[in-house]
Structures are given as C-alpha cells and as structure tokens.
Copies of this chain bind each other. A is one copy, B any other.
Amino acid sequence: MPKPQKHERVDRRVQRSRQLLQDALIAMMIEKGYEATTVQDIIDRANVGRATFYAHFADKETLLTSRLEDLRAFLIERQRQAPGLGFSLAMLEHARDHLPLYAAIVGRGGGSGAFVIQRIHATIVDLARRALQTLGMKGSPERRTLAAQYIAGAFMAVLTWWLDQAAKLPAEEVDGIFRTLVMRGLAAEVDAAAASRK
C-alpha cells in the first residue's frame, strides 16, 4: 500500500485512485446494494486496475469503512453544536439528503445492507454514550452502556423504518417522536387502564 510521504504530501495519483474507488462504491451501492457489489464491479465503475484496488484497500469492507469516516466526522461535529440527543436530527437529515444511497442500504428486503447498518449502529452507540454523559446520567458505567445500546438500537430501528417509508414524515417530526420516547417513554402514549394493568 502506498504510504503518505513526509509532510502529509500525497501523490496526486493516490488521491485520484482512492476517490474514484470510493465514488464507485457509493454508485454501486445505490445500483445493486452493498452485498451484491463485487470488487470487480467497483474497479470496472472506477475504471481502475484490479491490483490498484488492493494497493489501497485490503478489501471491500475497508473501502466502506474509509467512507464511513466522513459520516462519523459529520455526526460528531453536529453533536458538538447540539449536545444531548443532537445526533438524531443530524443523522435523519443526512439520510434525507442522501436518500438514494440510504434507501439502497436499508431497502432490498432488509438483508442486503445489514453490514453497513451495523457499522453505522456502532457509530451511534458512541454518540449515545457521549449524549448520556452530557445529560449527566446517574448509575454505574455498566448501566450507562446498556442505556447507550438501548438508544442506538432504538434509533437505528426508527431510522430504518423511516427510510423504508421513503422518508414520508418530516425529519423534524421523527426526531421529536424519538426524543420523546427516549426521555419519557411510552407512558404518555397508552391509556391509564392498560398502563396500570402493567
């Protein structure tokens, strides 16, 4: 793998190859989904030699990861601006702004994009943990981790559902419902009789 020169200088050919491959992956994901996309598809689309692919990325997964770093950076920045559950609206908007891509990840009967979803999930867990810290959650670290998992799992499910509905509802409304459910739970949503019945 070509290594970065001293002083951060990166050979223009390297930049170009990486960019072409990343763009080609996105294009192929939209076209046939992540799982169904082969390395051959990617290098054909990028118009790059096979050996070049493996010179830069160990495999398809590594290439994906390199792309997800951008998403991660974006979310962390938005979280910084709006602490707490701020990642929620940021993520929903990001998905809406790249709807074809996200639809491909989430759609196709569900099975195809499981891996990508899992990677995003992991990022959300991290953000949720930060959120809980900001909110000053009490209890043992163990319980905080559990809560972060809870939040991230719930959010990913909501996001997935929303995208499967072609993002019909406004992102702001989904964000509101999600935050309410996280903070206040279902209690307000069910009638008193059933709630007392527990």
Contact = CB atoms under 8 A, between A and B. Distances in A.
Interface string A156-198: 1110111000000100001001101111111101110111011
Contact of A146 (B135, B153, B161, B185): B161
A84 B194 CA distance: 9
A10 interface: no
Interface stretch (A36-44, A45-53, A108-116): A108-116
Contacts of A132: 190
A2 interface: no
Closest 7 CB pairs of A and B: A153-B157, A185-B185, A154-B154, A136-B194, A114-B114, A149-B161, A184-B185
Interface of A: 84, 110-111, 114-115, 117-118, 121-122, 132, 134-139, 142-143, 145-147, 149-158, 160-162, 169, 174, 177-178, 180-187, 189-191, 193-195, 197-198
